[in-house]
Amino acid sequence: MYKSNKNIAINKNIKIAFLIFLLLILIFNSFNEIYAQQFNRVKRESIPYSITFSFSVYYYGSSTFTSYRFNPYIYLNFSILKDLDLFFQIPMDLYYSKSYETEYDEQFNPYTIKKEEYLLSLSSALFGFQYTFYNNFINDLFFYVNFPVGIYPLFYKRSSFDVEKPSPIVTISIGYRLTFIYDPLLFSLTPQITANYNIPQLIEEKDDWTQQYSILCKFNLTIVFNSILSTSITITPSIIFPKIKGFESIEGYELYKYSISGEFNINLRISENISSGLSISSNLSGYLIPEFEVYITLRG
């Protein structure tokens, strides 16, 4: 009688354990299904192309000096294959400054001279590609080259030789972006390595070329309020290594540098294929001079 009751208790415990196991499987599968649906719902849209028109405004001034910089650009993105995008960026640079200088005549009487300078340039041309793959995150691998076409007279006009035109610096950058989604929040982490090569031979100047490298990491938090409005905050710390003269040694006594910048963005989705936004960015060390950028994106 005792053994029978013991067997009944064991069988009952086995059934209970089996039921708990089935319940855990159902809960786990339901969680995975909900998570997958949630992930797919906010998965990056697949679009054939997009065109972004944008301009940024920068101002610096004092009682005797004012400087304006206006930078419009066009950004093109094409999906040539599944999860493989090509992108191009063509920025322009309109610089204008006005200053007042005090001079003296032959009788040493002071008088004021107004000096105005400008530069209009197609500053550079950027080309790159981005490969995207998905797991529990959105993963982007990107590479781009930025060539300074603004060093050639065909692509710039300036008021005088005192106005500096773009430097002959070729930029090559490679990076990885990881985006984690916890609806309605998106958090992305973007480590990136950038190489700047100053090549005077591009404009036939007799000087040694230099190379310089930097490492940065962007931390971005995006809040999606609804299908129309979203906002984001980006913090970017970076380390800049000393310049290297040719392949020889560090140029002069230059040391390692660091910088940190911040950006705040508001994005409005006007329609299914049109969005617009405003961003405010600034270097968070030294003088806090904000740069404002307005953009509109058309999607195909």
CB 96 within 8 A of CB 117: yes
- Identify whether residues 5 and 123 lie together within a single domain: no
The CATH number of the domain holding residue 262 is: 2.40.160.40
Whether 274 contacts 300, CB under 8 Å: no
15 shares its domain with 86: no
Rg (Cα) of the chain, in Å, rounded? 28
pTM attached to this predicted model: 0.74
Q: Work out the number of other CB atoms within 10 angstroms of the CB of residue 127.
A: 14
Instruction: Say whether both 131 and 279 belong to one domain.
Output: yes
pLDDT attached to residue 180: 87
Residues 285, 267 within the same domain: yes
Pair (204, 93) in one structural domain: yes
Domain range enclosing 233: 46-299
Residues 96 and 189 in one domain: yes
The token pair at 141 is 């691998």
What is the domain count for the chain? 2
Q: Residues 130, 18: one domain? A: no
Q: What is the DSSP string of 184-238?
A: TEEEEEEEEEEEEEE-GGGGT--S--EEEEEEEEEEEEEEE-SSSEEEEEEEEEE
Q: 10-residue block means of pLDDT along the chain (300 residues)?
A: 48 58 54 46 68 84 76 89 88 83 68 79 91 87 92 85 81 93 88 91 77 93 88 93 72 75 91 86 77 84
Asked if residue 116 and residue 22 are part of one domain, the reply reads no
- Please give the Cα distance from 110 to 114 (Å, whole number): 13
- The per-residue pLDDT for 161 is 76
Based on the fold, state whether residues 106 and 246 are members of the same structural domain: yes
190 and 62 assigned to the same domain: yes
The Cα 121–Cα 94 span in angstroms is 7
Residues 146, 101: contact at Cβ < 8 Å?
no
Give the tokens for residue 15: 């059934």
Q: How many degrees, rounded to 5, is the angle at CA 18 between CA 13 and CA 23?
A: 125
Query: Residue 25: what pLDDT?
Result: 54
Same domain, 21 and 59: no
Q: Quick one: pLDDT at residue 36?
A: 44
84, 90 contact by CB (below 8 A): no
Indicate if 16 and 165 belong to the same structural domain.
no
How many Å apart are CA 200 and CA 203, to the nearest integer?
Answer: 6
142 within 8 A of 132, measured Cβ to Cβ: no
